[in-house]
Amino acid sequence: MKGLGLLLAAALVAAAPAADAHGPTRQKVTRSVAIAAPPDKVWSLVGDFAAMDRWHPAVEKTQAEGGNTPGATRVLVLKGGGEIAEKLERYEPEKRSYFYRITDVNIDVLPVANYSAWIEVKPGDGGGALVEWRGAFYRGYMNNDPPEQYNDEAARTAVTGVYDAGLANLKALAEGQ
Amino acid sequence: MRSAAALLLLLLLAPGWTGGAQAQLAWITNQGADTVSVLDTAAGTVVATLPVSGAPAGVAVAPDASAVFITGPADRSVQRIDAGRRTVDARRTLGDGPLGIDADPDGRRLYVADWYGNRLFVLDTGTLETLAEIPVGRAPSGVAVAPRRGLVLVANRDDDSVSLVDPAAGRVTATVPVGRHPFGIAVDPDERRAWVANVESDDVSVIDLDAARTVAAVPVGSTPYAVAVTPDGALAFVTDQHDDTVSAIDTAALRVVATIPVAGFPEGIAAHPDGTRVFVANWFGNAVSVIDTAGLRVIAEIPTGDGSRAFGRFIAGR
């Protein structure tokens, strides 16, 4: 396994793939984390589309163009190999939210297709923050009868692993500073 | 004024529509939950939640509102719901990926697009048996009947075209180029024009059905998915999936007159037959947004189930 491999291996192994469905249907994953830090501080970490390596532990570096203007692009170079190309679709600093989609990824790096996602920092309890990461995507294998490593379950498990790892690290960074 | 005229027109044109209690229901396929939410559109509440199968996506209500047909792309099924008893009373597997669906006002025929099979199935509504199988373009998605023209329109997503199908003759009579990746499609009540949401070109193609060609492209929001036209034909509403909005198009001026925020990831959309409201299924928001067509704003949001899709004509009446 390449790319997010080590990070996600545990999650992939832990999930028993479901008996397989035939046609692909759009999947969704929503993960969130409560952080004991002001929303603005959390947003200053997570809100820069051009610097995902600042907070996500699987990202080695971010090759970005266009800053935080809709239409901006970034290539996430992953630790251990693999790249994900993404485009910023909406940027709403007043809501501490942005929306982006993947424009190119090898399904051996992340087994998804037609992936789009939101990241949003909301006010949480006691002056803290609640960070929500929501993804909508299809499995990587878009025809009928996918191999097990490219089925719906594999896609959801991989995305869940990415989100949980990122949010846990974001929490540690924001609360530790 | 608009609604009274629309209602009158509707009653004159659609003898199959009874106007009874069933017509007040909306049938929302919830793809993640494998259920159908039954909404009382007058009360704005979910009155029943029915178990179905196959990550249900497409939906079409029978012209007399006695039955509802849904597609389950994940298990390649077509299911018929008895609207009175609110249970699935018939089911079959079909093709490679049944998705878009519409019911003929004749009450006898059902049309189902096969996403992977690049064909349109004509089914008998009573037995769900195949009456005909008609090759169309690649990745057919939305289906809309134009009954007085004897046509069925099919949006071919991967061909950037719409097939005009003569189901009686069992063949495509014209293939109309539209924008990039057409998905949802609707025919206006007088069957003069068809409206097609183009997911990749962020616009809606307007097809003149006499000329069988695209006569306009109306820019809308990001990733337009499906279209509904009001019974008086004055407004077309388009779900902008990635913008979490609905664009309202003035069909005479051919421009957007309002952009209405809704719950997350709007997909299926249908106008109530009285013309006063439009219902929007939100896939990420797990809710139906109700739009007031006079005020062009959301007046209610009704929680449904996980992954509300409702791709098709999910309220009876035309």
For A172, the enclosing helix (H) or strand (E) is helix A152-176
Under the banding of pLDDT at 50, 70 and 90, the label for residue B251 is very high
Probe site for chain A from B241, B242, B267, B308 (most A CB atoms < 10 A)? B242
Indicate the DSSP class of residue A149. G
Give the CATH architecture of domain B2-313. Answer: 7 Propeller (2.130)
For A11, the enclosing helix (H) or strand (E) is helix A5-14
On the question of pLDDT at B114 being above 90, the answer is: yes
pLDDT at position B115 is 93
The span from the CA of B76 to the CA of B93, in Å, is: 5
Which pair of tokens denotes residue A96?
């501490």
B4-13, B121-130, B158-167, B274-283: least confidently modelled range? B4-13
**pLDDT mean over B22-35:** 89
A44-53, A73-82, B11-20, B247-256: least confidently modelled range? B11-20
Indicate the DSSP class of residue B170. T
Q: Is the Cα dihedral B137, B240, B312, A19 positive or negative?
A: positive
The span from the CA of A15 to the CA of A148, in Å, is: 12
The span from the CA of B248 to the CA of B240, in Å, is: 10
Which pair of tokens denotes residue B163?
């097939």
The span from the CA of B306 to the CA of B264, in Å, is: 12
Owner of token pair 């004991």 = A36
The span from the CA of A114 to the CA of A111, in Å, is: 11
Q: Give residue limits of the domains in chain B.
A: 2-313
The span from the CA of B51 to the CA of A136, in Å, is: 24
Listed by number, the residues of chain A in 111-140 with a beta carbon closer than 8 Å to a beta carbon of chain B are 116, 134, 136
Residues B105 and B16 sit within 8 Å (Cβ to Cβ): yes
Least Cα distance to A110 among A67, A62, A59, A52 occurs for A59
pLDDT at position A12 is 41
pLDDT at position A112 is 96
On the question of pLDDT at A17 being above 80, the answer is: no
pLDDT above 70 as % of chain B? 92
Listed by number, the residues of chain A in 146-165 with a beta carbon closer than 8 Å to a beta carbon of chain B are none
Q: How do residues B36-70 score in pLDDT, each as one tens digit?
A: 999 999 999 999 999 999 999 999 999 999 999 99
Higher-confidence residue: B17 or B273? B273
The span from the CA of A105 to the CA of A117, in Å, is: 15
The span from the CA of A101 to the CA of A29, in Å, is: 14
Which pair of tokens denotes residue B169?
């003759």
In angstroms, what is the C-alpha Rg of chain A?
16
The mean of the pLDDT values for chain B is: 93
On the question of pLDDT at A103 being above 80, the answer is: yes
In angstroms, what is the C-alpha Rg of chain B?
17
CB-based contact A144 B115, cutoff 8 Å? no
The span from the CA of B162 to the CA of B141, in Å, is: 10
End-to-end alpha carbon distance in chain A:
34
A35-39, A81-85, A144-148, B168-172: least confidently modelled range? A144-148
Which pair of tokens denotes residue B130?
């195949």
Residues B271 and B237 sit within 8 Å (Cβ to Cβ): yes
Whether B127 has its CB under 8 Å from any CB of chain A: the answer is no
Under the banding of pLDDT at 50, 70 and 90, the label for residue B137 is very high
On the question of pLDDT at B116 being above 60, the answer is: yes
Query: What is the ipTM metric for this complex?
Result: 0.77
On the question of pLDDT at B193 being above 90, the answer is: yes
On the question of pLDDT at A8 being above 60, the answer is: no
Least Cα distance to B267 among B44, B76, B57 occurs for B57
On the question of pLDDT at B14 being above 90, the answer is: no
Residue A165: φ, ψ to 5°: -65, -40
pLDDT at position B33 is 96
For A60, the enclosing helix (H) or strand (E) is strand A59-65
pLDDT at position A23 is 61
Of B97, B243, B307, the CB nearest to A23: B97
Least Cα distance to B53 among B75, B38, B82, B37 occurs for B75
Under the banding of pLDDT at 50, 70 and 90, the label for residue A177 is low
pLDDT above 90 as % of chain A? 78
On the question of pLDDT at B32 being above 50, the answer is: yes
On the question of pLDDT at B107 being above 80, the answer is: yes
Under the banding of pLDDT at 50, 70 and 90, the label for residue A25 is confident
pLDDT at position B157 is 96
Q: Is B34 left (phi over 0), alpha (psi -120 to 50) or beta?
A: left
Give CA separation, B273 vs B40, B295, B304, in Å: 13, 17, 21
pLDDT above 90 as % of chain B? 91
Listed by number, the residues of chain B in 17-56 with a beta carbon closer than 8 Å to a beta carbon of chain A are 31-32, 54-55
Higher-confidence residue: B2 or B147? B147
**pLDDT mean over B60-84:** 95
pLDDT at position A14 is 39
Probe site for chain A from B284, B286, B306, B311 (most A CB atoms < 10 A)? B284
The span from the CA of B121 to the CA of B133, in Å, is: 5
Q: How do residues B92-103 score in pLDDT, each as one tens digit?
A: 999 999 999 999
pLDDT at position A146 is 87
Residues A78 and A71 sit within 8 Å (Cβ to Cβ): no
DSSP string, B3-72: HHHHHHHHHHH-TT---SGGGGEEEEEETTTTEEEEEETTTTEEEEEEE--S---EEEE-TTSSEEEEEE
Q: In sequence order, what are the residues at sequence separation of 6 or more whose Cβ sits closer than 8 angstroms to the Cβ of residue B281?
A: B28, B29, B266, B267, B268, B269, B288, B304, B308, B309, B310, B314
A6-10, B142-146, B255-259: least confidently modelled range? A6-10
pLDDT at position A4 is 57
Under the banding of pLDDT at 50, 70 and 90, the label for residue A19 is very low
Residues B250 and B230 sit within 8 Å (Cβ to Cβ): no
Of B96, B115, B284, the CB nearest to A28: B284
Q: Give residue limits of the domains in chain A.
A: 25-176
| CATH numeric code, A25-176 | 3.30.530.20
Under the banding of pLDDT at 50, 70 and 90, the label for residue A22 is low
Least Cα distance to B230 among B185, B270, B280 occurs for B270
CB-based contact A25 B116, cutoff 8 Å? no
Which pair of tokens denotes residue B263?
């719950």
